[in-house]
Amino acid sequence: MNWLLLCRMLGMLGMLVGASMVFSLPWAFPLCGQTETFESRGFWGIVASVCCSLMIGGSLYAIGRKDQKTILRKEALAVVGLGWCLAGVLGALPYLFAGVDSAPGVRMGFVDALFESLSGFTTTGASVLTELEDPELVPRCVLFWRSFTHWLGGMGIIVLFVAVLGQLGAGGKAMMRREVPGPIAETVRPRVRETALAMWAIYVAFSVVETAVLMAEGLSFYDALCHTFGTMATGGFSTFNQSVGHFASSVVEVTLIVFMVIAGTNFSLYDAMMRSRGEKHRWWPRFTPLVRDPEFRLYLTILSVAIALVTASLLRHPVYEGFGPALRHASFNVVSLMTTTGFGTEDFTQWTQFSKAILLVLMFVGGCAGSTGGGIKVVRFLLFFKILWLELERAFRPNVVRPLRIGSATIDDSVRRDVTVYFGLILVVFAASWLLLVGIESDHHWNVPGQHSTAEKLFDCATAVAATLNNIGPGMGIVGPSSNYAFFSPGSKLLLTLLMVLGRLELFAILVLLFPSFWRN
């Protein structure tokens, strides 16, 4: 392991995170934020965080500045894994320096701040804050930073790092490969920096459009920006305790549904659409990359079927009066959970058992590869069931050799192995984390009359693990959309924080850090 090179890269990443905090400073002033007075506590807290981040990043860079060697595979993995950990620690500083209260009279400690920070960067959207609408507890500028971490982590802080620097050679490609989710590596442009810039350009363009649309629908610039960050990053942090339900607007919900679906789609398809020539004066050929993509078609199919089933279930056991309200709430919550955004309009834990079962399954599916969504990814399920089909056929026709295909593309055997291993790892990590969480949380602590009981502990812990590992945020039971994660003990919060990072980086970039041989020369 080249330690000097690793320090240099982490130093530049730390300074990039520190510099990004500057965008939160204007919101401490009355003219920018939704406050009547200057938020001195939040302003100086972020200023101190910027200075501290720049000092830490600058010190690391100074240690390794003389090493200008090319970054290789091991260093790339280390930069991605340790880079996200460093970003999480630095991102927690505004909560600590600004003296944010997680609840009235309860000051946030380091564990809570780290949980909130990495929940933002990993676009999970799980929170320990209970009173978002009280500037005395959570300054508006810190709340903006909270949402901004979503936007930075959505497309990826490493992808942004590559786009800004660019001169990383093959190491930059390896770093992006480990951060951009999905089993199949797709190069949008010939050069890795061009790919990173193209992805961020598309991301920014969609964000600008969504912000403008939400403002036209009556949201303030502040709320429009924060909810755009949560939508395009499929994160789900809101500026209100009731999340999107605060607006009570079907128009706003439809807008968010559209952009959540967009954010859950492979961004390389949008680049292909922009570069497709098509016929002159015809717009429809530009949609050919979307229409021909098997993963995108399955993605829309799953969403449509799930919405239909949940709507039918809500109508069969009348939860809402009429088809319109049932379809409205079913559509929003199905899209929100499958894309792993986590915005809420209703407490779906009060829905029928069949509806909740569908939502629980969708938590594991997630969005498309190359999107900002979490979960296992649609393409992995597509490949996994194709692999199962081929293996079943092989049982009675052992001499027949059929290649694994998606559409007209033949999938390499290494991808086939990676998909199988990934499903196995997810199962092992989920089961082990569930058992560990149940063990950490004492039964006595869990038994609170009128709120929750030890009888619900197994299910609640399972959904908490599923919601954090798949970067969703809200789960079922005690971590449902009307609750948060403040109830858990510090040890449990650290475990759930680790699961967020594991889910965002798809296991490997973090798990390899645990091998002693990884750090040897």
Residue 55 binned pLDDT confidence (cut-offs 50, 70, 90): very high
Given a cut of 80, whether residue 407 has pLDDT beyond it is no
423 shares a domain with 378: no
What is the extent of the structural domain holding 218?
191-418
159 shares a domain with 48: yes
Check if the beta carbon of residue 119 is closer than 8 Å to that of residue 125.
Answer: yes
The rounded distance, in Å, linking the Cα atoms of 163 and 404 is 34
Residue 243 lies in a domain: yes
Quick check: helix, strand or coil at residue 337?
helix
* pLDDT for residue 292: 85
According to DSSP, the residues that pair with 409 across neighbouring strands are: 406
Instruction: Give the closest residue to 298 by CA, choosing from 264, 322, 253, 275.
Output: 264
Share of the chain above pLDDT 70, in %: 87
**Residue at a domain's end among 418, 435, 467:** 418
The rounded distance, in Å, linking the Cα atoms of 335 and 342 is 9
Quick check: helix, strand or coil at residue 515?
coil
* pLDDT for residue 260: 95
* pLDDT for residue 272: 83
User: Tens digit of pLDDT for each residue in 250-305?
Assistant: 999 999 999 999 999 988 888 888 876 554 545 555 677 788 888 899 999 999 99
The rounded distance, in Å, linking the Cα atoms of 16 and 213 is 30
The rounded distance, in Å, linking the Cα atoms of 294 and 379 is 8
272 shares a domain with 140: no
What would you report as the CA-atom Rg of the chain, rounded to the nearest whole angstrom? 23
Residue 105 lies in a domain: yes
Q: Would residue 272 be called left, alpha or beta, if left means φ above 0 and alpha means ψ between -120 and 50 degrees?
A: alpha
pTM of the model: 0.90
Quick check: helix, strand or coil at residue 482?
coil
356 shares a domain with 308: yes
**Residue at a domain's end among 179, 199, 234:** 179
Given a cut of 60, whether residue 79 has pLDDT beyond it is yes
345 shares a domain with 303: yes
Share of the chain above pLDDT 90, in %: 38
Residue 185 lies in a domain: no
Check if the beta carbon of residue 341 is closer than 8 Å to that of residue 263.
Answer: yes
How many domains does the chain fold into? 3
The rounded distance, in Å, linking the Cα atoms of 182 and 506 is 8
498 shares a domain with 407: no
Residue 369 lies in a domain: yes
Residue 184 lies in a domain: no
**Residue at a domain's end among 138, 153, 179:** 179
Residue 186 lies in a domain: no
Instruction: Give the closest residue to 230 by CA, choosing from 358, 115, 360, 344.
Output: 344
Residue 302 lies in a domain: yes
* pLDDT for residue 402: 78
232 shares a domain with 101: no
412 shares a domain with 428: no
Average pLDDT in the 378-397 region? Answer: 87
The one-letter code for the residue type at 169 is G
Average pLDDT in the 152-168 region? Answer: 67
Lowest mean pLDDT among 16-30, 64-78, 482-496: 64-78
The rounded distance, in Å, linking the Cα atoms of 513 and 510 is 6
The rounded distance, in Å, linking the Cα atoms of 277 and 282 is 10
User: Tens digit of pLDDT for each residue in 462-506?
Assistant: 999 999 999 888 888 888 887 889 888 899 999 999 999 998 888
Distance separating the N- and C-terminal Cα atoms of the chain: 5
384 shares a domain with 245: yes
Instruction: Give the closest residue to 168 by CA, choosing from 9, 46, 321, 24.
Output: 9
372 shares a domain with 432: no
Average pLDDT in the 324-333 region? Answer: 91
* pLDDT for residue 518: 80
Average pLDDT, the chain: 84
Residue 162 binned pLDDT confidence (cut-offs 50, 70, 90): low
Average pLDDT in the 84-92 region? Answer: 93
Residue 311 binned pLDDT confidence (cut-offs 50, 70, 90): very high
Average pLDDT in the 343-369 region? Answer: 88
* pLDDT for residue 114: 95
* pLDDT for residue 279: 47
206 shares a domain with 122: no
The rounded distance, in Å, linking the Cα atoms of 299 and 368 is 7
Please report where in the chains the tokens 């004066």 appear, as a residue: 281
